[in-house]
Amino acid sequence: MMKTSDIIETAEEHLIHTYNRYQIVFDHGDGVYLYDNDGREYLDFCAGIAVFALGYNNKCYNDALKVQIDKIVHTSNYYYSKPMAMAAKMITEVSGMSRVFFTNSGTEAVEGAIKLAKKYGYLKDGSNDHEIIAMDHSFHGRSMGALSVTGNKKYQEAFGPLIPGIRFAKYNDLDSVKALVNDKTSAIIFETVQGEGGIYPADKEFIQGIRKLCDERDILLILDEIQCGMGRTGTMFAYEQYGIKPDVVTIAKAIGCGIPMGAFAVNEKASGVLVAGDHGSTYGGNPLACAACVNVLEQFKNLDILENVKETGAYLFDKLEELKDRIPAIKAHRGMGLIQGIELDESVSAGEVVKKAIESGLILITAGNNVIRFIPPLIIKKEHVDKMTDILENCF
């Protein structure tokens, strides 16, 4: 077996250094725990950045992938496959949308949604100068299109010029959105719960107001649920809790539970915009990824994942509220279901607390301005929440 130090040295010698990685080499996982190359156990409250909804070493999931690997892994989108057909049907059913396009990642899902929005405007008047309104402090991905609608200068400044026609409003400020809308606005895009920006759920008045505005002005509402969707808030998609539906929703992360996969789904209003030749993906919707998606959605139902998220999410909320009352450095706590965050004052660094937690056998990550993010596997139980808060309090 390679030593941990040798693995890290080999990686650092050959990888482009775009990540400041923790000095850990994970070897395997089981349930809500990860184990490093030296056999040390870690309680995981990150889930691969909201990916491993069903936890690690899920036998039903593993077996489904093994069966598909023995059949066929890839054919391209020139042909059909049963996993693709079934995954498409299931995604449209759980999302309330009409049709779906499969991608390999969340970023690609956002790229497809942007292209759809651009063409939606083009079909109105034949011009290509239509605009998209996005939100400050948002995060939609690292590719050029997704980066263009990401409202954070630190991600953008070295990569200009970005795609034109993007205007930024204030999240949860409906008037700031209305002030930017004009006859060239083709879409409004935002996260139903801002993740990287610091765990900010949309206000009901804000999201319902934008839905009404989009209906009145013939504008597409695009909701990014890459991180907050797939059951993480206690409903399959967070927008269900607001009594609205988007015209386009972007999905990824838990849709494949570890197999790289994303999608954007559209309603009837947007379902005929993209036609043959407008968009494509060599690997998008391949049989292996779609077999993973089908199994994930089946297990969500069979294991009653949403009910567990509601119950354990409420328990996590109460425990973090108690922690906030005991620790003066915690100045705010917010979130929904199993996507929550605590914001720290300037006396304590969220990054340093996370580093200390990892040294203590607890995996957490940061978000936004000095926020610790809690996005565990959706199978987490109350005893895991208790263990996490005990470790975290000791870290403070």
For the chain, give the mean pLDDT: 97
Span 211-230, average pLDDT: 98
Q: What angle do CA 200, 195, 225 make, to 5 degrees?
A: 100
User: What does the pLDDT read at residue 224?
Assistant: 98
Looking at per-residue confidence, does 1 or 246 come out higher? 246
Distance (Å) of CA 246 to CA 19, 76, 157, 172, 225: 33, 29, 30, 16, 11
Q: Which domains does the chain have, with CATH numbers?
A: 61-302 (3.40.640.10), 304-338 (no CATH)
CA 286 to CA 103: how far, in whole Å? 9
Asked if residue 124 has pLDDT above 90, the reply is yes
Structure tokens at 367: 């978000």
Task: Tell me the DSSP string of 220-272.
Answer: EEEEE-TTTTTTTTSSSSGGGGGT---SEEEE-GGGTTTS--EEEEE-GGGTT
- 360-372: string of b/e by CB count within 10 Å (b at 16+)? eebbbbbbbebbb
3-state secondary structure of 365: strand
User: What does the pLDDT read at residue 208?
Assistant: 98
Would you tell me the crossing angle of helices 350-359 and 382-395 to the nearest 10 degrees?
110
Neighbours of 101 (CB within 10 A): 23
CA 332 to CA 345: how far, in whole Å? 9
CA 56 to CA 27: how far, in whole Å? 12
CA 311 to CA 231: how far, in whole Å? 13
| The length of the chain, given as a count of residues | 396
Cβ 221 vs Cβ 265: under 8 Å: no
Give this prediction's pTM: 0.97
Strands 131-135 and 166-169, bridge-based pairing: parallel
Task: Tell me the DSSP string of 85-132.
Answer: HHHHHHHHHHHT-SEEEEESSHHHHHHHHHHHHHHHHHHHHS-S--EE
Neighbours of 281 (CB within 10 A): 17
For CA atoms 285, 286, 289, 290, the dihedral sign is positive
Asked if residue 225 has pLDDT above 90, the reply is yes
The identity of residue 389, as a single letter, is: T
Span 223-228, average pLDDT: 98
Peptide bond into 328 cis (omega under 30): no
Closest to 113 in 3D by CA, of 94, 72, 141, 86: 141
Reported as a single tens digit per residue, the pLDDT across 299-335 is 999 999 999 999 999 999 999 999 999 999 999 999 9
User: What does the pLDDT read at residue 246?
Assistant: 98
DSSP 8-state symbol, 183: T
Q: Which residue has the tokens 């491993």?
A: 52
Cβ neighbourhood burial of 136 (10 Å; 0-12, 13-18, 19+): middle
CA 196 to CA 209: how far, in whole Å? 24
Asked if residue 73 has pLDDT above 90, the reply is yes
Q: How confident is the model at residue 173 (pLDDT cuts 50, 70, 90)?
A: very high
- Supply φ then ψ for residue 31, to 5 degrees: 65, -120
Reported as a single tens digit per residue, the pLDDT across 196-207 is 999 999 999 999
User: What does the pLDDT read at residue 1?
Assistant: 80
Reported as a single tens digit per residue, the pLDDT across 97-109 is 999 999 999 999 9
Cβ 113 vs Cβ 266: under 8 Å: no
Asked if residue 188 has pLDDT above 90, the reply is yes
Reported as a single tens digit per residue, the pLDDT across 252-282 is 999 999 999 999 999 999 999 999 999 999 9
Cβ 150 vs Cβ 141: under 8 Å: yes
